[in-house]
Structure 1
Amino acid sequence: MSTKYTIALAPLDAFGHVNACVGLAQTLRDFGHNCVFIVNQNWKNMISGLGFDYQIYIEKHKTDSKDKFWIEMMRESANILMLSPFEKLRAFEAPGWPPLTENVRLSNDKIKLIIDTIKPDAIITDTFLTIPAVVSAGVPWIDLISCNPLYYWTDPRLPPGGSGYATNSDKKLWKEFINEAIDAYSDSWESYNKWLQSVGAPALQNKFRFSNPSPFLNLYMCPLELNYEDIAPNDPELCFNIDSMIRSDVINNTTNTFEIPKELSEKSGKLVYLSMGTICCSDLALMKRLVSILSKSQHRFIVSKGPLGDDYELPDNMWGRNSLPQLQVIPLVDLVITHGGNNTVTESLYLGKPMIIVPVFCDQFDNAQRIVEKQLGLRLDPYLCSQNELIDAIDRVVNDFNLKAKYELISQRMQRSDWRTKCVQIINKVINRSKNATNDS
């Protein structure tokens, strides 16, 4: 590549979004670009440890524990999390928008100063909110969508994100869901939209969303087998699908290889990995419920226990730690039981391991439903499923050899995929087009 560009990345202050931006930044760096992260203080050690430059946009949380925040949030939401996706709109999601929008208001001026300092040729965001400093920077801004694309898009051909509705379900339900979200979010949306315009940013286009699609390029992460292109095809020049966003430093790591603990390796039964992600595992009651049910299974389990792992014990057919190297664990197991976050779903497909998805909130419902629609696994309610339902589901999936063969083919295809080259090419094209337009004017 002849031209080296400086590209800024501004992810939402959450692991999944930071992780996705890191995966993309590693690819851009491999092709010669200089990547600079604009992040909260909490992420500087991770970013610098991977060899990237960074700028801190807010330091007020530098002594706070992210685990403490999620633990408290999940504790306060204990009863709410058992509600349906529709009921969660008002009870769980709507209260989350004010702190998110307030964070942008507080940090926008600092982000603008950082952008003016580093003078990037393009900016990549992975957030659910318009950041005025980004969209008004005078360079192409590219939206990276690391959640299920339904949770971000608003396409009448597709069910609304976060609903978990099937693509062939009653569209009246879709409309009711959207109307409920608009009503539930209205106060936060109106306030944020008014503020955006007061600082020179474009008005929001849709009352169901707190950001607009990028007019330059939108990248979304969705394995081809789960993509919605069969229903709602997109212009790849404006909306490009990244097949997988797995960090190269993790997938290529050959050190500290995880081994099955002796207390499990000597037992019989299939080996199952239970992971509820970085947030859902903070629901202590839920983790205890799942562990109690799975203790009745004939199979063996590796459990990612989460930040409250010291508060509960595992039975004899299980072994776990509060934190595990997930991409080293998954290749060794026969099945993954997961909340359905985009990272774990993509990683399981990439590594050829069938899934049972037990969604808790947001786009996890959409990922779970899409897995079912594509006949690639099962979906259960982690709060309401019975012991027999979950144990029977495990037996069905681990003994489904046709499903295993499907996953092996998907894994082979994903590992051969050349999305990285194509993605960098289209980003280069966007930057070059912008520079040419500036020179012509």
Structure 2
Amino acid sequence: MTLLVISPDYASHLLPLATLATRWRDAGERVVVATGPSTAGIVADFGLERVDLTLGRGSNPGVIRAEEQPRDEGASLRGFFDATRRGMTQTLRYQAQERLTDLMWDPVGRGRRVLEIVDQVRPDAIIVDHLAFSARMALQTAGVPYGDVVLGHPSALPVPGEVYGYPPFWPRAFAPSQEDLDELRELCDRVAAGFTGEWNRAARELDSRAADVDDAFATHGGTHGGTVLYNYPAELAATEGRMLPPHAFLGSTRREEDVAPDILEWIARDEPYVYVSFGSFLSVRDDVLARVAEALRILDVRAAIATGATPAEALGDVPDGWLVRPHLPQIRLLKSAAVAVNHGGNNSVTEALGSGVPILVLPFSTDQFAGGATIERARVGVALDPNAASVEELTDALRLLLGEDGNGDGAEGAAVDRGLLRRIAEGQAARPGPEVAYEALAGTRSLTSERIASGSPAADR
């Protein structure tokens, strides 16, 4: 039996997908990962095979820096980083405007390459990053079932009444004007229409018989017998009231990590600590990291801070006893952390909740706003505006999450539902994400093999 994994050349996307694949690997099955060269080391570290597949103009082996990207991608990144400093709707508008070149890069060429790989590998099951749009377009055009892994808040796959790029809800700390929201919605509708046209044109070039889709952003892997796999806790989704397609909730995709002895020694000290990371992209926001560091100094609490693209000196004086490095073993540190501070990225949020850790989320972009609102609503954390939150507000939120104000112990009406945090963590420990994915795709194996054996991936290319 063979599993094919299709991922963009970004560590933050490949790591959870490769973690899902370990269930197949550990069962003695063959796993082939189709991704770009920047993340080849990650594939090798997981002990998996790799075939070359470039799905976009950019890449990211761990921490992304604009100056290390191709010129057009570097300019796009710098524009994005600047937009995050202006606010929620400004960032979402910028991302919407960039979306056509960002998401459907060489769709026909990439689609043909994906189908070539399917012909060569002959997989029994396929899992694809939901944002690998060119790959999904090719598979859907060829009628090949696959597991559609949504690595983000579930709103990354719009349901009726929603449009991609426009958050269905956002935290209370954000108060956009109705005019800004109307302009954003109109832009997102236009982008969705243009993107759908590009999808349909590319699909017809792959197969002249391809039927048009109404909204390319809303298509998913269940169309031809596959399923949608949300990397998200079911307990949070239950509070949102959204009508989802056939799916399974993975909860999280927490992986095994190699941890240096000195970090293990640091963790083992009998003192609580706060883990801080803004991921591979938003770690560039040194101003926000500096304010968080100041709040932690005021609280006189230990901190483990993954600085990423931010130099350590931007944090100010680093107290003795803090752990500050560009890269840290996030899974292991979250396992023992008292609180997590992050940007609301899917890996950061799901991995924290999978360890039962409350979150101070500071969302900057895309689905992070919807995710922050749900964290707030479910009372598993606090959401603040990273551009507006003062050091005092950050300090108060951290004090609440640490339980130092007497209102964070999960009592009725308390701000933090620690009982829910425990249930989420216990549920994921009992049934980890890779096991859920393996079981969910078991029913697609014969169907996938049959479609591939019939020659359907070849389309009429």
Measured after TM superposition, the shift of residue 141 of structure 1 is: 2.3
Aligned to 2:317: 315
Distance in 1 between residues matched to 2:323 and 2:77, nearest whole Å = 24
1:69 counterpart (66, 69, 87): 66
Q: Could you report, residue by residue, the CA deviation over 1:344-369 in whole angstroms, capped at 9, with x for unpaired residues?
A: 11111111211110011111111111
Do the aligned residues in 2 keep the contact of 1:272 with 1:337 (CA within 8 Å)? yes
TM-score (norm 2): 0.80
Q: Report 1:272-311 matches (<5 A).
A: 272-309=274-311
Is residue 222 from structure 1 mapped to residue 232 from structure 2 by the alignment?
yes
Q: 1:406 to 1:385 in 2, by over 3 A?
A: same
Do the aligned residues in 2 keep the contact of 1:89 with 1:180 (CA within 8 Å)? no
Measured after TM superposition, the shift of residue 27 of structure 1 is: 1.4
2:409 counterpart (395, 401, 408): 401
Supply the RMSD in Å over aligned alpha carbons: 3.7
Q: 1:36 to 1:89 in 2, by over 3 A?
A: same
Is residue 123 from structure 1 mapped to residue 133 from structure 2 by the alignment?
no
Letter in 1 for 2:437: C
Distance in 2 between residues matched to 1:319 and 1:210, nearest whole Å = 42
2:188 counterpart (178, 181, 196): 181
Distance in 2 between residues matched to 1:204 and 1:397, nearest whole Å = 45
Do the aligned residues in 1 keep the contact of 2:192 with 2:215 (CA within 8 Å)? no
Q: 1:377 to 1:141 in 2, by over 3 A?
A: same
2:342 counterpart (329, 335, 338): 338
Q: Could you report, residue by residue, the CA deviation over 1:376-427 in whole angstroms, capped at 9, with x for unpaired residues?
A: 1110011111121111111111111223444234322321126644532331
Q: 1:74 to 1:304 in 2, by over 3 A?
A: farther
Is residue 246 from structure 1 mapped to residue 249 from structure 2 by the alignment?
no
Measured after TM superposition, the shift of residue 242 of structure 1 is: 1.4
Is residue 30 from structure 1 mapped to residue 34 from structure 2 by the alignment?
no
Measured after TM superposition, the shift of residue 204 of structure 1 is: 3.3
Count of residue pairs the alignment pairs up: 426
Distance in 2 between residues matched to 1:62 and 1:181, nearest whole Å = 23
2:241 counterpart (225, 231, 252): 231
Q: 1:223 to 1:428 in 2, by over 3 A?
A: same
Measured after TM superposition, the shift of residue 97 of structure 1 is: 3.1
Distance in 1 between residues matched to 2:32 and 2:453, nearest whole Å = 25
Measured after TM superposition, the shift of residue 224 of structure 1 is: 2.1
Distance in 2 between residues matched to 1:372 and 1:8, nearest whole Å = 37
Distance in 1 between residues matched to 2:371 and 2:85, nearest whole Å = 18
TM-score (norm 1): 0.83
Q: 1:205 to 1:13 in 2, by over 3 A?
A: farther
Distance in 2 between residues matched to 1:327 and 1:210, nearest whole Å = 31
Distance in 1 between residues matched to 2:220 and 2:388, nearest whole Å = 36
Do the aligned residues in 1 keep the contact of 2:148 with 2:229 (CA within 8 Å)? yes
Distance in 2 between residues matched to 1:106 and 1:336, nearest whole Å = 41
Q: 1:93 to 1:283 in 2, by over 3 A?
A: farther
- Structure scoring higher RCO (CA < 8 A, sep ≥ 6) equals 2
Q: Could you report, residue by residue, the CA deviation over 1:121-161 in whole angstroms, capped at 9, with x for unpaired residues?
A: 232210321424333445322211111111213234x7976
**Identity of matched residues, %:** 18
Do the aligned residues in 1 keep the contact of 2:196 with 2:214 (CA within 8 Å)? no
Do the aligned residues in 2 keep the contact of 1:160 with 1:178 (CA within 8 Å)? no
Measured after TM superposition, the shift of residue 219 of structure 1 is: 1.3
Do the aligned residues in 2 keep the contact of 1:70 with 1:282 (CA within 8 Å)? no
Distance in 1 between residues matched to 2:106 and 2:238, nearest whole Å = 32
Is residue 12 from structure 1 mapped to residue 8 from structure 2 by the alignment?
yes
Q: SS of the counterpart of 1:102?
A: coil
Measured after TM superposition, the shift of residue 324 of structure 1 is: 0.4
Letter in 2 for 1:141: Y
Q: Report 1:356-371 matches (<5 A).
A: 356-371=360-375
2:17 counterpart (15, 21, 38): 21
Is residue 155 from structure 1 mapped to residue 195 from structure 2 by the alignment?
no
